[in-house]
A and B are shown apart, each in its own frame.
Chain A
Amino acid sequence: MSAVIDRRGFMAASLVGAGALAFEARIALAQDPGAVPLNAFIRIGADNKVTIGSKNPEIGQGIRTMLPMLIAEELDLSWDQVVIEPTLANDKIYGVQSAGGSNSTPNNWLPMRQVGAAARAMILSAAAKEWGVDASSLTTAVGKVSHAASGRSAPYAAFARGAATETAPDLAKVALKDPSRFTIIGQSKIGVDTVAITRGKPLFGIDVDMPGLIHGAIIKAPAHGATIASHDAGAALKRKGVIAVVPVNSNSVAPGKFDTLVVVADSWWTAKNAREAVKVTWNDAAQQGFSTQAYDKGAAEALAAGPQIAHAKNGDVAKALAGAAKTITADYSYPFLAHGTLEPQNCTGRWVDGKLEIWAPSQAPNNGRSDTAAMLGIKGEDITIHQTRIGGGFGRRLINDYMVMAGQVAKALPGRPVKILFDRTDDLRHDYYRPAGWHRFTAGLDAKGDLVAFRDHFVSFGKDGKPIRAAEMSPFEFPVNVLADSEIGITYLPTNLATGWLRAPTSNAVSFVYQSFMDEIAQAAGIDLPELMRRTLGAPRDLAVVPGRPVLHSGRARAVIDGVCKMAGWQGGKLAPGPKGEKRGRGFGFYFSHRGYFAEVVDITITDGANVRVDKVWACGDIGSQIINPINARHQVQGAVNEGLGQGMVEQKIEQVKGVVQAESFGDFPLIRIEQVPREIAVQFLKTDYPPTGLGEPSLPPVIPALANAIFAATGQRLRQLPLKLA
C-alpha cells in the first residue's frame, strides 16, 4: 500500500478522466437499459433514480455510503432518489481505491464533491439549451431543474441524454457549495447495505457464487517463510469430489517457490476435509529458532546493551538527566496481534483466455492487481477486479495474499471459477501481524516539575537496520518533538513472521506506552496527565513541521483534552468506591494519529477483587470542519473504543513456538465480547476550521492508555505490558 495518498495524483487521474470520463463510464456503468451515464460515477435512470458508483472498499467504516453523499450533495439530489453500487477496482478511472490510513475522507472530500458539481453543471447546460434560456437563470434541488422566470421545472432524467454529450467541466475549477447550503452532508444516513445485511443477502466475498463454482481450502507452511519440500496428493485426489491439489506461492516466499497447497473440490467442506489426506514436508529449518521466548530474551539483551540505531537525537539527554531533580524509568511491552476479521480471508478467480476475473474482499484491490499480475506474468489490465463488501478489514486486507493465490489456482484450472477460503486456524496462523515491541523509557523532571529530558529505547523487528512492515517508529513522537533534550534509539530483532498494519498502525501500541509513561511522569510531578499534557504541549502552534507528514497542532490537542475533561467532569483519577466497596478509578489518554485528535477518559470498577469492568468512556475528537455522516461517525468511535479496550483487557496475543504461530481459534485469540464493553460511550466532536479528515483509526489509540491509567488510579498497580493483567 502506498502509505501516503497523493491528492494531486488523484486529481490528475480525475482530470485525465474529465475528457475520458463520459467514455469510460459507458464501459463501467452502463448496464440498465434506458439509463444514461454522465461520467464514471453517475448514471441517471429514466425514473430519475440516480445511481452513484462508490469507489472505495467497504470494511464497515461506512465509506460506501459516505462517498456518494459527497457526490449527491453537489449534484443537488434528494437522498431517496440515490441508488449506490460499488465500482470495479480500476485506479486508472477512479484514482486511489483503498481503505487504509483513514485517508478516504481527506483524499475524497473535494474530488467527490467536484464530480457531483461537474455533473450538475452538465445537466444545467443541457437544460439551458433545451429551454433556450441562460444556464445562470436555472436552479436545481432534489433532482430537478427549475426556471423561476417561466415557472418551468423538470427532473434531471429529462436532460440526461443531452447532459451526457456536454463536455465535462474542469473538475478543479467547478464551483462547490457553501457548507451552509448542505442538505445531505452532515445529515445521518444509514448504511447503504444495512437492509440487505438484515435480509441475509449475498454481499461479502465469501458469498460470491456462480454456475460451476469450485472451492479451495489451503494447506500453508505452518512456519512463516517455509516452503514445500515435497508433497503427495494421491490419496486426496482419490476422494469423491476432489478436483486438484495446486501448489501456489502466497507471495511470501521467493519467486519459483511454493509455500501453500490449495486442495480444490466441488464443495469447500470436501476440500477442507481432504487436506488430511495430503502428505507434505516442509523446508523449515531456517524458521525453527523463532519463538516468543527467543524474542523476549532478545529484547531483554537489546535493552541491556543499548540501542543499535540513533533514531532521533535532540540536545544532550545524558547531561539533562544528570541535572534533573527527579528521574523516572520504566519498561513497557506489547505482543504481536492478529486481526481476526470475522469473515475469513477468501477470494474468487476465473481464468479465461489469458485473462483473469477476480471477486475480492480487499482493502487495496489495485495493489492486489499488481501483485497478482506479477505472480502470473500477465499485464495488470488483463485482470478485472470486482469489489465485494468486506466482513471486517482492520488492515488485514491491505495485503492481497488471497488474491495472488486465487489467481494461481484459477490459472491452473482454466475456465472454472474457483473460490479459496481460509478456515479460522489458517486465518489466525497466516495473518500479517501487528509487530510486538518493547520500550525502555527514562525521563527527567526539573525542580519545578517540568519535563526536561526524555529517552526511549525502542526494540521491535527489522532487517538490515530497517523496520519491517508496521514496526516503524516516528522520530517526531510527542514529547520527543517538543523537548530540547530528547532521543529515541532503536534495536531491531529478526523474525520470520509476516507483519502488517492493524487499525491505527504503530499508534495503537505507541499510544499505550507513551501515554502510560506520561501518566507515570505526571504522578512523579504531582499533577495529573491532562495538566502535564497542557504544560508540555505549550502554546497553540504546529509542532515540528515535517514535510509530507501530518503535523500535530498543540492548540487542537489542548482543545480536545479540555473538551473530554469537561465532558467527564475530570478532577483527577480518584473515584469513590462502588456500592460494595469496590475499588474504582478513572484514566485519561490523548493521541494524535491519522490527522485526527482524540482525548478519552475511562471509568472502571474492580470487581471480585481482580476483574476490570469498564463502566463508561468519554471521547472528544477533532477531525475538522465537518462530520459528514454523524450517525456513522459516532459508531466508528464507539467501535474503535471497544476494540482498543479489547486489546487492553482481553487475553489478546499471538505467540510462536519453533517458528509457528500457536493460536488456533477464538479461544486462543479472544475478541472482546458484549459482556466486557461499557454501558455508555459518550462521543463529542469539536468543529474546527481544518478540512475534514478520517475517522476509521484515530479514536482507537488513546483508550488503551486511558484504561491502563484508570487501573493504576483504582489499584496503584502500574501495568506496563499488554494485554493488561492485574497481579
Chain B
Amino acid sequence: MSQGKFALTINRKPVSVTADADKPLLWVLREELKMPGTKFGCGQGLCGACTVLLDGQAVRSCQTPVSAAAGHKVTTIEGASAVPQGAKLVEMWREIDVPQCGYCQAGQILSATALLLANPKPSDEEIDAGMNGNLCRCATYLRIRRAIRKAAGMADVTGDAA
C-alpha cells in the first residue's frame, strides 16, 4: 500500500494527512484527525452511520478512500452547523429530541443536510427516499421526518396524533 500525503478541506479548515491512499476517509477522520463524530457502523456502505458531505453531496466515508477525498471539501458532524441547513437541522434534532441511542444521528443529520441542499422543500416521499440509506436501529424515523420538515420550514406533522 502506498503511503501518501493528502490535502483535504475539513469543515472549512485545510488539513494535511499522511496515510495509505486506500485508507477510508472514515478511519482517517477517526484515527488520524481524532474526529470521532463520524461513526463506523458497517464498513460496507449499507448503514449510513459514516455519512459525510463531499462538496455538499452525501457520501459514505467508509467507502471513500482518503485519496478520493483529497482536494475536496469535507463536512462532518463536527462542522454541520456551519452549513445553514445543517444548523437548522441540528436545532430541530435537539428541539424534538430525535436521538434514542444516538449512534446513527451524525449520519442522519449529514444525509438530511445534503437532502435540503439539493431540495429545500422535499415531499414526504422525497424525504423517505433521501434518508433511506441511513439505518436507525432504534427506529427514530418518525422524528427524523418531522425534524427535516420543521428544518425546511414546512408544516409540523408529529406522526403521533391519534
Contacts and interface: CB of A to CB of B under 8 A. Distances in A.
A59 interface: yes
A131 interface: no
Given A197-B105, A200-B37, A342-B41, A666 B135 contact: yes
> Chain B binding site: helix, strand, loop or mixed by DSSP?
loop
B161 A682 contact: yes
Contacts of B139: 638-639, 642-643, 646, 672, 677
A199 B81 CA distance: 8
Interface in B111-153: 124, 127-129, 131-132, 134-145
B102 A680 contact: no
Contacts of A340: 137
Contacts of A202: 36-37
Contact of A639 (B81, B93, B100, B124): B100
A343 B107 CA distance: 13
B38 interface: yes
Given A671-B137, A681-B142, A681-B159, A198 B93 contact: yes
A340 B24 CA distance: 22
Of listed B104, B137, B141, residue having the most chain A CB within 10 A? B137
Interface string A191-223: 101110111111110110100000000000000
Nearest to A631: B97
A344 B39 CA distance: 10
Contact of A635 (B100, B132, B157): B100
Interface string A660-699: 0000011100011111010111111000000000000000
A411 interface: no
A634 interface: yes
Contacts of B106: 197, 200
Contacts of B38: 200
A341 interface: yes
Contacts of B100: 60-62, 635-636, 639
A684 B162 CA distance: 9
Interface stretch (A244-252, A309-317, A384-392, A442-450): A384-392
A48 interface: no
B77 A389 contact: no
B59 to A, nearest CB: 17
A394 interface: yes
A392 B145 contact: no
A683 B131 contact: no
Interface in B23-62: 23-24, 27, 31, 34-44, 46-47, 49
Given A197-B99, A639-B100, A674 B137 contact: no
B39 A206 contact: yes
Contacts of A638: 139-140, 142-143, 159-160
B85 interface: no
Contacts of B134: 674
B103 interface: yes
B74 interface: no
Of listed A267, A393, A682, residue having the most chain B CB within 10 A? A267
Given A194-B99, A342-B103, A666 B42 contact: yes
Contacts of B90: 198-199
Contact of A424 (B41, B132, B136): B41
Contacts of B20: 269
A392 to B, nearest CB: 5
Given A190-B97, A194-B94, A268-B31, A60 B102 contact: yes
A499 B20 CA distance: 39
A567 interface: yes
Nearest to A393: B101
Interface string B66-89: 000000000011101100000000
B138 A392 contact: yes
Contacts of A636: 100
Contacts of A198: 77, 80, 90, 93-94, 99, 105, 109
A392 B31 contact: no
A635 B90 CA distance: 18
B42 A424 contact: yes
Interface size class of B (residues with CB under 8 A): 35 or more
B40 A634 contact: no
Contacts of A284: none
Contacts of A24: none
A342 B23 contact: no
Of listed B39, B47, B100, B139, residue having the most chain A CB within 10 A? B139
A423 interface: yes
Contact of B97 (A194, A267, A421, A672): A194
A639 B31 CA distance: 32
Of listed A634, A635, A636, A682, residue having the most chain B CB within 10 A? A635
Interface in A410-452: 421, 423-424
Contacts of B37: 199-202
B44 A424 contact: yes
A391 B46 contact: no
Contacts of A682: 160-162
Contacts of B39: 204, 206, 342-343, 391
Interface in B2-37: 20, 23-24, 27, 31, 34-37
Nearest to B91: A198
A234 B39 CA distance: 32
Of listed B23, B39, B102, residue having the most chain A CB within 10 A? B102
Contacts of A391: 39, 101-103
Nearest to B77: A200
Nearest to B26: A269
B36 A665 contact: no
A72 B121 CA distance: 42
Given A267-B31, A342-B103, A423-B43, A199 B78 contact: yes
A672 B141 CA distance: 10
A432 to B, nearest CB: 16
Contacts of A598: none
Contacts of A590: none
A170 B144 CA distance: 46
A431 to B, nearest CB: 13
A639 B141 CA distance: 8
A517 interface: no
A271 to B, nearest CB: 11
A677 B144 CA distance: 12
A341 B100 CA distance: 13
A343 B40 CA distance: 7
Given A191-B97, A194-B102, A424-B42, A674 B160 contact: no
A267 B66 CA distance: 15
A342 B94 CA distance: 21
Contacts of A588: none
Report, nearest first, the 8 A-B pairs whose CB atoms are least far apart.
Answer: A200-B37, A60-B101, A391-B103, A642-B139, A200-B77, A60-B100, A197-B102, A424-B42
24 contacts: A194-B97, A194-B102, A197-B102, A197-B105, A198-B94, A198-B99, A199-B81, A199-B90, A200-B38, A200-B78, A209-B34, A269-B27, A342-B47, A392-B101, A424-B44, A631-B97, A635-B97, A671-B135, A671-B137, A673-B141, A674-B145, A682-B160, A682-B162, A684-B162
Interface of A: 58-62, 190-191, 193-195, 197-204, 206-207, 209, 267-269, 340-344, 389-394, 421, 423-424, 567, 618, 631-632, 634-636, 638-639, 642-643, 646, 665-667, 671-675, 677, 679-684
Given A267-B27, A267-B31, 16 more contacts: A60-B100, A60-B101, A191-B99, A198-B109, A199-B90, A200-B80, A207-B36, A269-B27, A342-B41, A342-B103, A639-B100, A665-B42, A665-B46, A672-B139, A675-B132, A679-B157
